[in-house]
Amino acid sequence: MTIIQITELAKSYQKPVLRGINIKINKGEPIALVGANGAGKTTLFSCIAGFIPFDSGVISVLGEQPGSPNLVNRIGVLPQDARLNPDETIEAQLSFLAQLQGLSKAQALAESQRVLGLVDLQAHGAAKPVQLSHGMAKRVAIAQALIGTPELVLLDEPTAGLDPLNARELRQLIKSLSSHTTFIISSHNLDELESLCREVYYLENGQISRHLDLHDQQQSCLSLELLRETPLAKQALEQLETVTQVSSTQDRVFIINYHDNSGMALEQAIFRLLAQQDWPYKLLMQGKTLEESLFG
């Protein structure tokens, strides 16, 4: 099922920001949107959510135009710099947002308590934003994006400002909800995206310049990182049976391509080589990291 279809989307703020975006996203596992600062990620999210008009092109979200009343409670959004009303309690704000989705007052209160529980803040419903830490306020903003169990959720830098434990718990929450909600996540944390997402869209100069399937990146490829510079390592790796190519994109990091169905035997051969040559290593892993795939 297609949840987002974008054709030739363009948007300018005095100068072009989005230049003919074409994307088709299907329901399923979380999707990553990656790009440098100023690449247009937040603008793209805002167009999809219906927050801002766009200059030209077509966007279909769950079969509707962005901002359609028919999308109420079907799409949730975490803006990059979401702010809370300083004068209202957390529970009151979430209840109000739930009532905007058509819930009764009692249902909205129950829904606010449910989403606060998802982010482990059910004990803080009576607090006002000034009483919350930055990380807690961010978790409340995430909770509001989950009101009504939407089919699609856009998360712009969801773990920015969260401590490692809460960031980990959020990743686990996203995984647990992905059976019925499709998440599109914009983040500079490539390791985090790699742990959550299978598909990655790279936004560059206002266009989608790359679309990666991380599952494909894991096939017929190993990554080796040594702990010290070893001038002879590349040549030695190239001589191993079934190896087709060895590239080095960083000091001490090697990408080893090999013939299909020979990965296990090759791993054993590499371990023997490392032991024989006394080359200390940091990791040997299947596939390439997202960083290597994008920038290697």
Instruction: Give the model confidence (pLDDT) of 115-149 as tens digits.
Output: 999 999 999 999 999 999 988 999 999 999 999 99
User: In this structure, are 233 and 211 located in the same domain?
Assistant: no
Per-residue pLDDT of the chain (296 residues; tens, 9 = 90+): 899 999 999 999 989 999 999 999 999 989 999 998 889 999 999 999 999 999 999 999 999 999 999 999 999 999 988 888 999 999 999 999 999 999 999 999 999 999 999 999 999 999 999 999 988 999 999 999 999 999 999 999 998 888 899 899 999 999 999 999 999 999 988 888 888 888 999 999 899 988 888 766 666 788 899 999 888 999 999 999 889 888 886 778 888 888 877 778 889 999 999 999 999 998 888 777 677 667 65
Residue 71 host element (H or E): none
Both 176 and 225 in one domain: the answer is: no
Q: Are residues 40 and 65 in the same domain?
A: yes
Q: Which residues of 26-62 are buried (b: 16+ CB within 10 A; e: fewer)?
A: eeebbbbbbbeeebbbbbbbbbbbbeeebeebebbbb
Predicted TM-score of the model (pTM): 0.79
Q: Are residues 163 and 241 in the same domain?
A: no
- Write out the residue range of the structural domain in which residue 107 sits: 2-216
CA dist., res. 267 & res. 215, Å (int): 19
User: How many domains is the chain built from?
Assistant: 2
Assess whether 277 and 142 both reside in one domain.
no
91 and 112 both lie in a single domain: yes
Query: Which of 216, 251, 280 delimits the end of a domain?
Result: 216
CATH of the domain at 202: 3.40.50.300
